[in-house]
A and B are shown apart, each in its own frame.
Chain A
Amino acid sequence: MSHPRHALDEIIHAPVRLSIMAMLAAAETVEFGYLRDTIEVSDSLLSKHLQTLEKAGYVRVTKGFVGKRPRTWLALTDEGRDAFQSYMAVLRQITQAPPSRLDAGTD
């Protein structure tokens, strides 16, 4: 029997990317600066992780203006929302399962 952690989506299961996905899953859209300030990362690090998520088809990036200020808006794609739900299901499986059952799996 395989340990459920092997089912964790490696693209999502990284601290910064998980924070991004979690916020976007709860929101319709999030502005880049708000996301950066809330998860406390630099512009460049956030951009790097967003590129990974965008490349995976999980995040949609929209650029626009509010007044004269350029803004970047982020949202989950349907695929990203499905991936996050699956990821959360695996996480709950890991945290709720009795340790003996999980330990019985082979790595």
Chain B
Amino acid sequence: MTDHADFSAEAALREVERAQGAVRRAGRRAAMFFLTLWLISTAYWLAALLGPEAVRDYSGLGLFLAVGVVLVARLVFRERVYSRMTARIVYPVTGAFVGTSVLASLYTTFLHPLEPGPQWVVPDVVVTLVAGAPLLYGAVRVLRSENDR
């Protein structure tokens, strides 16, 4: 007899569920982090492109990118467990997000007029959505992966 002869199959399955639940919760935290950053990104670009002039003057790409990268870095270095999906997508999503943010800033700097007319609303909204798309994609992928388990 082994020292765990009384460890039933049902108890083993319960323990597997409990242990994996902890990893799922960590994955959901990562998804919530991506979603929060997506909301901040969307609000930022809407304010920077469509907001009143006073708001636009306040917006600075450098500050926004720095905050985003620092927050992502905090997630990467502080989390002590990574779900498989989070580990797989955290760097591609971060890289894509920096890329779309740079594209949005180039659009703002070189194409967007200082006093945009109503015809600029649609392009501005599209740029806003594109800028935050990697974060939303990351959040959905992680949440879907955790819910499927």
Partners in one complex: yes
Q: Which residues from chain A sit less than 8 Å from chain B, CB to CB?
A: 5, 10, 13-15, 18-19, 22-23, 25-31, 33-35, 38-39, 66, 88, 91-92, 94-95
Query: Can you list, as one digit per residue, whether each of B1-35 has a CB less than 8 Å from chain A (1) or not (0)?
Result: 01110010110110110111011101000000000
A13–B83 alpha-carbon span in the complex (Å): 23
The reply to whether A10 and B2 contact each other, CB–CB distance below 8 Å, is: yes
Q: Which residues from chain B sit less than 8 Å from chain A, CB to CB?
A: 2-4, 7, 9-10, 12-13, 15-16, 18-20, 22-24, 26, 77, 80-84, 86-88, 149
Q: By CB atoms of chain B within 10 A, which of A23, A31, A35 has the most? A: A23
Contacts of A95 in B (CB 8 A): 9-10, 13
- The listed residue (A13, A19, A28, A66) touching B88 by CB distance below 8 A is A28
A3–B36 alpha-carbon span in the complex (Å): 51
The reply to whether B9 and A23 contact each other, CB–CB distance below 8 Å, is: no
A14–B10 alpha-carbon span in the complex (Å): 13
Contacts of B86 in A (CB 8 A): 28
How many residue pairs between the two chains, A and B, have CB atoms under 8 Å in the bound complex?
77
The reply to whether B4 and A15 contact each other, CB–CB distance below 8 Å, is: yes
The reply to whether B23 and A23 contact each other, CB–CB distance below 8 Å, is: yes
User: Can you pick out 9 interface pairs between chain A and chain B where the beta carbons lie within 8 Å of each other?
Assistant: A5-B9, A14-B3, A18-B16, A25-B20, A27-B84, A28-B86, A29-B82, A39-B19, A95-B13
The reply to whether B81 and A31 contact each other, CB–CB distance below 8 Å, is: yes
Question: Which single residue of chain A is at the shortest CB-CB distance from B20?
Answer: A26
The reply to whether A28 and B83 contact each other, CB–CB distance below 8 Å, is: yes
The reply to whether B80 and A30 contact each other, CB–CB distance below 8 Å, is: yes
